[in-house]
Amino acid sequence: MLVAAGCTPQSVTEEGRAVYGLYNLFLYIAAVVFVVVSGLVIWSVIRYRRRDDELPKQTHGNNRLELTWTLIPTVIVLVLFVFTMQAQNKVLDQSGDADVNITATAFQWSWRFAYEGTGAEVVGSPESIPEMVVPVGQTIRVKLLSADVVHSFYVPQTLFKRQAIPGTENLFDLTFEKTGLFHGQCTQFCGLQHPDMVFRVRVVSQGEYQSWLAAETRRGAAGQPGT
Protein backbone atom coordinates (compact mmCIF):
# COMPACT_ATOMS: atom_id res chain seq x y z
CA MET A 1 0.00 0.00 0.00
CA LEU A 2 2.80 2.41 0.93
CA VAL A 3 4.78 1.57 -2.20
CA ALA A 4 1.71 2.11 -4.40
CA ALA A 5 0.97 5.39 -2.63
CA GLY A 6 4.49 6.51 -3.53
CA CYS A 7 3.28 6.77 -7.15
CA THR A 8 1.05 9.75 -6.29
CA PRO A 9 2.61 12.75 -8.00
CA GLN A 10 3.33 15.90 -6.00
CA SER A 11 0.98 18.64 -7.10
CA VAL A 12 2.32 21.48 -9.24
CA THR A 13 -0.73 23.71 -8.68
CA GLU A 14 -2.03 25.59 -5.66
CA GLU A 15 -5.44 23.86 -6.03
CA GLY A 16 -3.80 20.43 -6.24
CA ARG A 17 -2.17 20.88 -2.84
CA ALA A 18 -5.60 20.54 -1.20
CA VAL A 19 -6.13 17.26 -3.07
CA TYR A 20 -2.67 16.05 -2.09
CA GLY A 21 -3.41 16.70 1.58
CA LEU A 22 -6.68 14.81 1.23
CA TYR A 23 -4.96 11.81 -0.42
CA ASN A 24 -2.56 11.67 2.53
CA LEU A 25 -5.37 11.86 5.09
CA PHE A 26 -7.13 8.93 3.36
CA LEU A 27 -3.86 7.00 3.29
CA TYR A 28 -3.13 7.52 7.01
CA ILE A 29 -6.63 6.48 8.08
CA ALA A 30 -6.58 3.47 5.70
CA ALA A 31 -3.17 2.46 7.10
CA VAL A 32 -4.47 2.50 10.69
CA VAL A 33 -7.57 0.46 9.69
CA PHE A 34 -5.35 -2.00 7.80
CA VAL A 35 -2.98 -2.52 10.73
CA VAL A 36 -5.81 -2.94 13.28
CA VAL A 37 -7.88 -5.32 11.11
CA SER A 38 -5.02 -7.51 9.91
CA GLY A 39 -3.52 -7.50 13.41
CA LEU A 40 -6.78 -8.82 14.87
CA VAL A 41 -7.13 -11.43 12.12
CA ILE A 42 -3.60 -12.73 12.72
CA TRP A 43 -4.11 -12.70 16.50
CA SER A 44 -7.39 -14.72 16.16
CA VAL A 45 -5.79 -17.26 13.83
CA ILE A 46 -2.99 -17.93 16.31
CA ARG A 47 -4.99 -17.61 19.52
CA TYR A 48 -7.84 -19.88 18.37
CA ARG A 49 -5.93 -22.37 16.25
CA ARG A 50 -7.20 -25.94 16.62
CA ARG A 51 -5.59 -27.59 19.63
CA ASP A 52 -8.31 -30.13 20.56
CA ASP A 53 -11.82 -31.01 19.37
CA GLU A 54 -13.49 -28.49 21.65
CA LEU A 55 -14.91 -25.25 20.23
CA PRO A 56 -13.85 -22.02 21.94
CA LYS A 57 -16.53 -19.99 23.74
CA GLN A 58 -19.23 -18.96 21.19
CA THR A 59 -20.82 -15.50 21.49
CA HIS A 60 -24.22 -14.66 19.95
CA GLY A 61 -25.55 -11.11 19.94
CA ASN A 62 -23.51 -8.47 21.70
CA ASN A 63 -25.06 -5.03 21.54
CA ARG A 64 -22.03 -3.17 22.77
CA LEU A 65 -19.76 -4.85 20.21
CA GLU A 66 -22.20 -4.32 17.33
CA LEU A 67 -22.66 -0.67 18.27
CA THR A 68 -18.88 -0.21 18.34
CA TRP A 69 -18.26 -1.67 14.89
CA THR A 70 -21.10 0.38 13.46
CA LEU A 71 -20.06 3.65 15.07
CA ILE A 72 -16.34 3.56 14.24
CA PRO A 73 -16.77 3.27 10.43
CA THR A 74 -19.59 5.83 10.50
CA VAL A 75 -17.37 8.35 12.28
CA ILE A 76 -14.47 7.67 9.86
CA VAL A 77 -16.75 8.20 6.83
CA LEU A 78 -18.18 11.40 8.31
CA VAL A 79 -14.71 12.82 9.04
CA LEU A 80 -13.54 11.97 5.50
CA PHE A 81 -16.72 13.53 4.08
CA VAL A 82 -16.13 16.84 5.89
CA PHE A 83 -12.47 17.02 4.82
CA THR A 84 -13.43 16.08 1.24
CA MET A 85 -16.00 18.88 1.10
CA GLN A 86 -13.42 21.36 2.42
CA ALA A 87 -10.82 20.30 -0.16
CA GLN A 88 -13.40 20.37 -2.95
CA ASN A 89 -14.50 23.89 -2.01
CA LYS A 90 -10.88 25.03 -2.11
CA VAL A 91 -10.24 23.38 -5.50
CA LEU A 92 -13.43 24.75 -7.08
CA ASP A 93 -13.24 28.23 -5.51
CA GLN A 94 -13.60 30.86 -8.24
CA SER A 95 -14.25 33.93 -6.11
CA GLY A 96 -11.16 35.79 -7.37
CA ASP A 97 -10.63 37.19 -10.85
CA ALA A 98 -8.59 35.05 -13.21
CA ASP A 99 -5.42 36.43 -14.84
CA VAL A 100 -5.69 34.29 -17.97
CA ASN A 101 -8.89 32.87 -19.49
CA ILE A 102 -8.55 29.90 -21.80
CA THR A 103 -11.32 28.08 -23.62
CA ALA A 104 -10.22 24.46 -23.98
CA THR A 105 -12.21 22.50 -26.53
CA ALA A 106 -11.83 18.76 -26.76
CA PHE A 107 -12.63 17.14 -30.10
CA GLN A 108 -12.06 13.83 -31.83
CA TRP A 109 -9.05 13.61 -31.55
CA SER A 110 -7.16 16.49 -30.06
CA TRP A 111 -7.48 19.79 -28.22
CA ARG A 112 -7.90 23.46 -29.02
CA PHE A 113 -6.80 26.15 -26.57
CA ALA A 114 -8.16 29.64 -27.30
CA TYR A 115 -6.90 32.60 -25.25
CA GLU A 116 -9.86 34.85 -24.49
CA GLY A 117 -9.49 38.51 -25.43
CA THR A 118 -6.57 37.78 -27.76
CA GLY A 119 -6.42 36.18 -31.19
CA ALA A 120 -4.14 33.45 -29.90
CA GLU A 121 -5.16 29.88 -30.24
CA VAL A 122 -3.41 26.54 -30.30
CA VAL A 123 -4.97 23.67 -32.23
CA GLY A 124 -3.58 20.18 -32.06
CA SER A 125 -4.03 17.03 -34.09
CA PRO A 126 -3.10 13.41 -33.48
CA GLU A 127 0.11 14.12 -35.44
CA SER A 128 1.03 17.32 -33.61
CA ILE A 129 0.64 17.49 -29.85
CA PRO A 130 -0.85 20.83 -28.73
CA GLU A 131 0.73 22.84 -25.93
CA MET A 132 -1.24 25.01 -23.55
CA VAL A 133 1.23 27.75 -22.61
CA VAL A 134 0.52 29.47 -19.29
CA PRO A 135 2.37 31.87 -16.96
CA VAL A 136 3.59 30.63 -13.58
CA GLY A 137 1.95 31.95 -10.39
CA GLN A 138 -1.13 33.31 -12.16
CA THR A 139 -4.69 32.11 -11.96
CA ILE A 140 -5.62 30.32 -15.18
CA ARG A 141 -9.38 29.93 -15.62
CA VAL A 142 -10.18 27.12 -18.03
CA LYS A 143 -13.56 26.91 -19.70
CA LEU A 144 -13.78 23.30 -20.82
CA LEU A 145 -16.00 22.38 -23.78
CA SER A 146 -16.48 19.44 -26.08
CA ALA A 147 -17.17 19.66 -29.80
CA ASP A 148 -18.56 16.14 -30.17
CA VAL A 149 -18.51 13.39 -27.53
CA VAL A 150 -17.52 13.19 -23.86
CA HIS A 151 -13.79 13.65 -23.27
CA SER A 152 -11.83 14.23 -20.10
CA PHE A 153 -9.14 16.81 -19.33
CA TYR A 154 -6.48 15.32 -17.11
CA VAL A 155 -3.02 16.58 -16.17
CA PRO A 156 -1.77 14.06 -13.60
CA GLN A 157 0.58 16.51 -11.87
CA THR A 158 -2.30 18.87 -11.08
CA LEU A 159 -4.16 16.01 -9.32
CA PHE A 160 -7.22 17.27 -11.13
CA LYS A 161 -9.48 15.86 -13.81
CA ARG A 162 -12.66 17.20 -15.37
CA GLN A 163 -14.92 15.84 -18.09
CA ALA A 164 -15.64 17.78 -21.25
CA ILE A 165 -19.34 17.25 -21.94
CA PRO A 166 -21.10 18.41 -25.14
CA GLY A 167 -23.47 21.32 -24.42
CA THR A 168 -21.95 21.94 -20.98
CA GLU A 169 -19.38 24.47 -19.79
CA ASN A 170 -17.04 23.29 -17.07
CA LEU A 171 -15.05 26.03 -15.36
CA PHE A 172 -12.03 25.46 -13.19
CA ASP A 173 -8.92 27.31 -12.04
CA LEU A 174 -5.32 26.14 -12.19
CA THR A 175 -2.56 28.14 -10.50
CA PHE A 176 0.81 26.63 -11.35
CA GLU A 177 3.47 27.08 -8.70
CA LYS A 178 6.45 26.12 -10.80
CA THR A 179 7.59 26.24 -14.40
CA GLY A 180 7.95 23.10 -16.48
CA LEU A 181 6.34 20.87 -19.05
CA PHE A 182 3.48 18.71 -17.81
CA HIS A 183 1.84 15.84 -19.63
CA GLY A 184 -1.92 15.85 -20.22
CA GLN A 185 -4.22 13.19 -21.59
CA CYS A 186 -7.87 12.58 -22.44
CA THR A 187 -9.03 10.01 -19.90
CA GLN A 188 -12.47 9.22 -21.28
CA PHE A 189 -12.55 6.60 -24.01
CA CYS A 190 -13.91 8.63 -26.92
CA GLY A 191 -13.27 6.62 -30.08
CA LEU A 192 -10.58 4.71 -31.93
CA GLN A 193 -7.96 7.46 -31.71
CA HIS A 194 -8.58 8.19 -28.04
CA PRO A 195 -4.94 7.40 -27.12
CA ASP A 196 -3.79 10.14 -29.53
CA MET A 197 -5.57 12.80 -27.43
CA VAL A 198 -2.48 13.90 -25.57
CA PHE A 199 -1.48 17.48 -24.83
CA ARG A 200 1.10 19.33 -22.78
CA VAL A 201 0.95 22.24 -20.40
CA ARG A 202 4.01 24.46 -20.68
CA VAL A 203 4.35 26.69 -17.63
CA VAL A 204 6.69 29.61 -18.31
CA SER A 205 7.71 32.90 -16.65
CA GLN A 206 5.49 35.95 -17.00
CA GLY A 207 7.90 37.54 -19.54
CA GLU A 208 8.13 34.44 -21.72
CA TYR A 209 4.36 34.11 -21.66
CA GLN A 210 3.87 37.72 -22.84
CA SER A 211 6.21 37.29 -25.80
CA TRP A 212 4.69 33.92 -26.72
CA LEU A 213 1.20 35.46 -26.57
CA ALA A 214 2.23 38.45 -28.70
CA ALA A 215 3.70 36.15 -31.37
CA GLU A 216 0.61 33.94 -31.43
CA THR A 217 -1.71 36.96 -31.60
CA ARG A 218 0.26 38.41 -34.55
CA ARG A 219 0.06 35.06 -36.27
CA GLY A 220 -3.71 34.97 -35.71
CA ALA A 221 -4.17 38.54 -36.98
CA ALA A 222 -2.21 37.69 -40.13
CA GLY A 223 -4.69 34.94 -40.84
CA GLN A 224 -2.12 32.22 -40.33
CA PRO A 225 -3.17 29.12 -38.50
CA GLY A 226 -2.14 28.87 -34.87
CA THR A 227 0.65 26.59 -33.82
Binding site for Cu ion (CB under 5 A): 151, 186, 190, 197
Q: How far is residue 208 CA from its own chain's centroid?
A: 27
Position 174: which residue type? L
To the nearest whole angstrom, how small is the minimum distance from the Cβ of residue 197 to Cu ion?
Answer: 4
Nearer to Cu ion, 161 or 219 (CB): 161
Nearer to Cu ion, 140 or 190 (CB): 190
- CA dihedral of residues 66, 68, 74, 80 (deg, nearest 10): -150
Nearer to Cu ion, 76 or 198 (CB): 198
**Interior angle at CA 52, CA 46 and CA 57, nearest 5:** 70
To the nearest whole angstrom, how small is the minimum distance from the Cβ of residue 109 to Cu ion?
Answer: 6
To the nearest whole angstrom, how small is the minimum distance from the Cβ of residue 225 to Cu ion?
Answer: 22
**Interior angle at CA 169, CA 198 and CA 81, nearest 5:** 90
To the nearest whole angstrom, how small is the minimum distance from the Cβ of residue 114 to Cu ion?
Answer: 18
Long-range CB pairs of 30-35 (<8 Å, 24+ gap) are 30/1, 31/1, 31/2, 33/76, 34/1
Nearer to Cu ion, 111 or 172 (CB): 111
